[in-house]
Chains A and B, each alone.
Chain A
Amino acid sequence: MADPSVTLTVTGGADGLGLPLRHGDCRLTAQPVATASLIAPYPGRVAACSAALAALGLAFPAPGQGLSAQGARIVWAGREQAFLFDAAPPDGLAEHASLTDQADGWARFLLQGTGAEAVLARLVPLDLRAGSFPQGRVVRSLLGHMPLLLIRAASDAFEITTYRSMAGSAVHELGRAMRATAARG
């Protein structure tokens, strides 16, 4: 029989990785993911999904788009899919889209500092200039060899999301790039 005294404690995806990390003016911090649902509308149901998401003040995002309202956030996450963060999927959404809980599958970091763009230029094969990648823009790409969901949170800040299992490698790679970038002054 189950022992009622047993509890299962929580371990965060970025626990034990030595964060926050600072090199020069760049800082890398963990940004725990509380809730994340992957929403993938069935063919032809994007509008219906948007209607259901209106309950949260949101709509289904276009590629590269992120929307937020009332503390909830929806972020494009790949072909015909988006992450809903910080809110439960509204009623009726499951009729029009597949919903999967992904909250524990991802590790999220914030890289902040005037050198942040230069740090990422060492790991991400993307045009990160503000004109091409403005604040709020979302992309799927690679962080070195790791999957990446990248959001420009501010002119000098990027939200970096990758697989939870790769969090250690992500911090290692980012740390190395931060150190080298800081050394350039």
Chain B
Amino acid sequence: MRIPCPCCGWRDRREFTYYGHETFLHRPAPDAGAEAWDDYLHNRENPAGPTRDLWYHDPCGSWVVVARDTVTHAVAGGEGLA
């Protein structure tokens, strides 16, 4: 599997650490309530098809949102968080 890093270009997946769906970027307000926090922390879709998830490129320290397809395994691209 090859993953694009916005800094480094396409790299072997062994250079990356997986985190989870990009939901983690949308942190609720501290007082958003138990349901919002439950959704943020635990509840995820399990898509057959396109998804966007977070990978860390360990060598350069970039977090990357990777657009990929869970059915075809195609990796469409990656972008930094900032």
Contact = CB atoms under 8 A, between A and B. Distances in A.
Contacts of B15: 125, 141-142
A81 B59 CA distance: 12
A142 B7 contact: no
A78 B5 CA distance: 11
A148 B59 contact: yes
A140 B59 contact: yes
B10 to A, nearest CB: 9
Given A63-B7, A141-B59, 20 more contacts: A63-B8, A64-B8, A78-B60, A78-B61, A79-B7, A79-B60, A79-B61, A79-B62, A125-B12, A125-B14, A126-B12, A139-B8, A140-B8, A140-B60, A141-B8, A141-B11, A141-B15, A142-B14, A142-B15, A147-B59
Contacts of A79: 7, 60-62
Chain B contact-residue range equals 10 to 19
Chain A contact-residue range equals 10 to 19
Interface of A: 63-64, 78-79, 81, 125-126, 139-142, 147-148
A141 B9 CA distance: 11
Interface in B52-75: 58-62
Interface string B1-21: 000000110011011000000
B8 A142 contact: no
A78 B7 contact: yes
Contacts of B58: 142, 147
Contacts of B7: 63, 78-79
Contacts of B8: 63-64, 139-141
| Centre residue among A64, A79, A142, A147 by max chain B CB count within 10 A | A79
A166 to B, nearest CB: 14
Nearest to A147: B59
